[in-house]
Amino acid sequence: MPSSIGLYVHIPFCRVKCPYCSFVVYVRRDHLRDAYVSALVDEIRMRADALEETSVAVTRDSTGRFPVSTLYFGGGTPSLLRPDQLGALIEAVRSAFSVEKDAEVTVETEPGTTSAASFTTLRGLGVNRVTIGVQSFHQQHLSELGRAHSPEDARSAVRAARSAGIRSLDLDLMFGLPHQTLAQWQTDLDEALALKPDHLSLYNLTVEPGTPYGQREKRGELPLPEEELQAEMMRTAMRRCYAAGLPQYEISNFARPGHESRHNSGYWNGAPYLGIGVGAHGFLPTGGTNGWGFRSWNVRTPERLIEHLAAGRLPVESGEDLDSASAALEALYLGLRQRRGLDRVAFAVRFGNDRFDTDPRVTRLVQGGWLDLNSRWARLTEAGVIIADYIISELGASLDTPGRSDTVGP
């Protein structure tokens, strides 16, 4: 059973909205920032008051509060907040919850919105991990992606974070970009690794419906690299990161030992977390009417969130009540995304036999060199990582347990 929970706080404000972005983010909402932060302070308190031990599977500590081991500020661009605004949110969390002494406190940042002084301030607030959204060191790709920063802004941000003494530094890069070549991706990797980050998050561009990129793809106007080239980009990343001392621990994430994201690892391991802010999701592992987990998500506009909290209501838009079948499929997916793999023993204790030893689809995956299987673990091979979505769908079918989770209102 988990001993603590994670908190995710969503800051939706951005300087620009990138054409590939499907996140809940807003531009031209600067006038709402103070009211939004004030509303989040209220939501943090109300979430703590409404939380039940039976739903979260965590016991209150001697202070009567729930222990928190990770706090993550995502967005959007959290580094657009003033220090006093971010400080007010951290203080609200420390007041409503029992934040552990060694808690991981992460803030996402964008180059061009930070300085040595701002990173020093973050460190003074207790932030010990920052992510810097570099995406690329090629100006042509940054312009194509709609990013507001330059390659030099990214380099300056890394130097500033290091000079401020931030304990753990994560850089985000993207590949599979329009017109991107393998040589350009190799250059991006080399430059990122030369900066000696503690963690790299490497994301294959996903084109989402409804975004400008989605519309361009539909019209045949988005010149993306061929699938095999994108696969070679991933293989290149795996080789180079491993050689640089940052082994892959999840499909998109690479870290020096001891610098893996504890917060994101909580997601992948089914740990409880609360989502604060617009569009934020939360998960209670033993919540819901079925007792297999309950996921909820908030309203998607700052105005509605502020309105709900001003009226004393949690800003929940809807939720999903998991049953054993949908919980098993989710555990399978999240376990296999991790390079250590799915713990078959723990899975069987919770859900029953995984059927991997008897299903011919699993046998084909093992014989094809895409899956390693033993009595304790099921894990993707390096070749399997490249076609992870296909393999996970095949293994999900082997369970023969179609999900029947129900979407419910607030």
Q: Which of 94-98, 168-172, 198-202, 359-363 has the lowest mean pLDDT?
A: 359-363
How far is Cα 41 from Cα 39, in angstroms, rounded to an integer? 5
Give residue 402's pLDDT. Answer: 43
What does the radius of gyration of the chain's CA atoms come to, in whole angstroms? 21
Q: How far is CA 116 from CA 62, 113, 165, 173, in A?
A: 38, 11, 10, 22
Give residue 357's pLDDT. Answer: 87
Q: How confident is the model at residue 352 (pLDDT cuts 50, 70, 90)?
A: confident
pTM, full prediction:
0.95
Give residue 409's pLDDT. Answer: 45
Q: How confident is the model at residue 5 (pLDDT cuts 50, 70, 90)?
A: very high
The answer to whether domain 342-405 has CATH 1.20.1300 is no
Per-residue pLDDT reduced to its tens digit, 293-311: 999 999 999 999 999 999 9
Q: How confident is the model at residue 267 (pLDDT cuts 50, 70, 90)?
A: very high
Looking at the predicted structure, is the pLDDT value of residue 77 above 80?
yes
Span 148-162, average pLDDT: 97
- Contact between residue 109 and residue 78 where contact means Cβ atoms under 8 Å apart: yes
Span 211-223, average pLDDT: 96
Give residue 380's pLDDT. Answer: 97
Looking at the predicted structure, is the pLDDT value of residue 129 above 90?
yes
Span 212-230, average pLDDT: 96
Looking at the predicted structure, is the pLDDT value of residue 23 above 50?
yes
Q: How confident is the model at residue 356 (pLDDT cuts 50, 70, 90)?
A: confident
Span 170-194, average pLDDT: 98
Looking at the predicted structure, is the pLDDT value of residue 269 above 70?
yes
Q: How confident is the model at residue 1 (pLDDT cuts 50, 70, 90)?
A: low
Percent of the chain with pLDDT strictly greater than 70: 97
The domain made up of 5-266 has a fold known as TIM Barrel (3.20.20)
Give residue 296's pLDDT. Answer: 97
Domain parsing of the chain, residue ranges: 5-266, 342-405
Q: Which of 121-130, 238-247, 392-401 has the lowest mean pLDDT?
A: 392-401
Q: How confident is the model at residue 410 (pLDDT cuts 50, 70, 90)?
A: very low
Q: How far is CA 275 from CA 132, 134, 245, in A?
A: 21, 25, 33
Q: How confident is the model at residue 354 (pLDDT cuts 50, 70, 90)?
A: confident
* Average pLDDT along the chain: 95
Looking at the predicted structure, is the pLDDT value of residue 231 above 50?
yes
